[in-house]
Chain A
Amino acid sequence: MSDDKIMGLFKKGKREEAFKALYKLYPRIEKLVLSKGGTKADASDVFQEALIILYRNLQKSDFKLTSSFYTYLYSVSRFIWKDAQKQFSKQELHNLESEQVSILDAVLEEQKYRLAEHAFRELGERCQQLLRWFYIKKKTFKAIAELMQFKSEKGAKNQKYKCLQKAKDIYRTQLKTVQS
């Protein structure tokens, strides 16, 4: 499938189909990671992160893909792997071009979101469901109160707040462990 067609899928909101089409690029990314001493599982992980970063950037109104999907995913994957291996020297970081800086920036941002994802996954099933309904499905507290059998809208709102705070607490602890 051509890049234009894949871009069309993203624009139509057919994310999963677009990812499927992009997976044809995976063997070349796998080769890259394997050649840099990674395993197949590492390669699969790196490619997943690269796809997420690509998707997030496509969501941004000021982002413009200046190269092919392959070139973009390749450089993102290279940065992800190199950063994971802590192989960037100060000199290298200093000499990055602006485009590369923005890629590295996106890679580092996404690492934070990945920690947040893990924090979220540590919540109980009910908390996860409540937050998903509110933030992703955009359900009202009234609807959530009915679905989860809260006595009132207020009860649902309080529970949502508690769940969110719990997720943030876990996230903060994880962030500290990573940074220390």
Chain B
Amino acid sequence: MEETIDIINAYLNKELTESEIFAFEQRLQTDSEFNNSFEEHVSILKGMGRIELVKEIDKARRAFIKSKWLKYVIITATVLFMALLIWLLVFKNENRAKNELEESLNFKTELTQSFKVSTDSIITITGEKGTQLTINPDDLEFDSGRDFKGKNLTIELMELTKKQDLLLANAQTISNRKWLISGGAFKIDIKSNTTSLRLKKAKLLVRYFLRTQKKKTC
């Protein structure tokens, strides 16, 4: 039996000469017992070979499962990251909209009207759009809190009473992609030469919006 296995091994390892191979293959055809031994031997060898194959396939399977989970993790992380990014962008945009409104109100546009007035009596001016301002010069002070005693004043008035004006001044207030309905906006700068003045506390500056007949105070 051991010789049979030796010759089978030699055949499988291609260690036989051409004539030996021929004889071997002849014997396989004619000797059924020999053929069975050969088949059995090959089966055992192939079975042995399976151990390595199964191990490799199992490794491949685990790598596949791992990569599948990794994919889920990456997708989830990406979605979360995008959500954070979008949230930040929207949040920032909201802030920027606010800043833009503030900036545009500080800008001098063609909508700004300038009035030069003297301070010897109560000042009354009327803007083009009908805004009426009444200012008592005694109520004015410098930003530092010092009383104003000058003789001349420049009053700059920006009236934004229509949607177009708000748009032109880039001062429209947008919330949720819709315009806020507003009676309009205005901005007043009072200056002596180039120094800004402000109203003393609790002194009211009264403005009339003639267009809407609404009385606004601040």
Contacts and interface: CB of A to CB of B under 8 A. Distances in A.
Interface of A: 15-16, 19-20, 22-24, 26, 44, 48, 51-52, 55-56, 112-121, 131-132, 135-136, 138, 161, 164-165, 167-168, 171-172
A135 B57 contact: no
B47 A20 contact: no
Interface string B22-63: 000000000000000000110111111111111011111101
A172 B36 CA distance: 11
B57 A52 contact: yes
What secondary structure prevails in chain A residues at the interface with B? helix
Contacts of A136: 48-49, 52
Interface residues of B, number: 26
Contacts of B50: 52, 113-114, 116-117
B72 interface: no
Given A52-B57, A168-B44, A120 B51 contact: yes
Contacts of A131: 48
Given A19-B57, A52-B57, A116 B63 contact: no
A19 B60 contact: yes
B5 interface: yes
Given A20-B59, A113-B47, 11 more contacts: A20-B64, A22-B60, A26-B61, A113-B49, A116-B43, A116-B48, A119-B47, A120-B44, A120-B47, A167-B44, A168-B40
15 contacts: A16-B56, A16-B60, A20-B63, A20-B64, A22-B60, A48-B58, A52-B53, A52-B54, A55-B53, A113-B43, A117-B54, A136-B49, A167-B44, A168-B40, A168-B44
Contact of B48 (A52, A135, A161): A135
B2 interface: yes
A116 B54 CA distance: 13
7 nearest CB pairs, A to B:
A116-B47, A19-B60, A23-B64, A117-B47, A113-B46, A117-B50, A20-B60
B206 to A, nearest CB: 76
A20 B67 CA distance: 10
A4 to B, nearest CB: 19
A141 to B, nearest CB: 11
Nearest to B12: A135
